[in-house]
A and B are shown apart, each in its own frame.
Chain A
Amino acid sequence: DQQVKQNSPSLSVQEGRISILNCDYTNSMFDYFLWYKKYPAEGPTFLISISSIKDKNEDGRFTVFLNKSAKHLSLHIVPSQPGDSAVYFCAASAMYSGGGADGLTFGKGTHLIIQP
């Protein structure tokens, strides 16, 4: 069973507009969420995280929103730039509750394409 779901395999957005990437999770023990960005032939690079005590975290052009009741989080990128074209992975952990392995559970990723 897939505990972290990214239902959009790809997303195309015009340069300068907002990119919104979505992620749903099923495991109620998850309490720490991260977004990673991956370019071809490179490992994932950490972007931004949020713990379950917050509903929003912002870092420059990147904002993550968490809706615990809906078990849903989203990553907003504004404005979108050509260098943002990559695969974005949502990941989750039961970091604070200790209910799971210390490893992260990843979604399958969303390929974001920024069009000029």
Chain B
Amino acid sequence: DTGVSQDPRHKITKRGQNVTFRCDPISEHNRLYWYRQTLGQGPEFLTYFQNEAQLEKSRLLSDRFSAERPKGSFSTLEIQRTEQGDSAMYLCASSPWTIDSPLHFGNGTRLTVT
């Protein structure tokens, strides 16, 4: 069973640097989501793709954040000019097309900005 895979698991970067994370969803899932989780909070929705189309973006997603899913398979999330407030766990999730299918989450990428 190949679940949702995220790379890297941990990333430490200096403020002002750019970082990119990758997510490989479950292969037959055409919906892909990015969430962010900070300490003591639940996951917060960032953005959502259906196949290669980015259909929804949260107000949390500032213009320093960009996500892509070029061929409707894997996705990348890039953060430019990182700030200390970007330190968080970035979670990717996928689901099939059916309306009431739950999201399947990866184990996340933990970002620390120093």
Contacts and interface: CB of A to CB of B under 8 A. Distances in A.
Interface of A: 4, 32, 34, 36, 41-46, 49, 51, 89, 91, 95-96, 101-109
Given A32-B100, A43-B107, A44-B91, 7 more contacts: A43-B105, A44-B43, A91-B42, A102-B31, A102-B48, A102-B56, A104-B103
A104 B46 CA distance: 10
Nearest to B105: A43
A101 B40 CA distance: 23
A51 B48 CA distance: 21
Nearest to A9: B40
A42 B6 CA distance: 11
Contacts, number: 57
Contact of B33 (A34, A103, A107): A103
B102 interface: yes
A7 B4 CA distance: 30
B: contact size bracket: 20 to 34
B99 A95 contact: yes
Given A95-B99, A108-B40, A43 B48 contact: no
B62 interface: no
Contacts of B40: 108
B35 A103 contact: yes
Contacts of B33: 102-103
B104 interface: yes
A78 B109 CA distance: 33
A104 B45 contact: yes
Contact of B91 (A41, A43, A102, A109): A43
Nearest to B104: A46
A4 B44 CA distance: 12
A106 B43 contact: yes
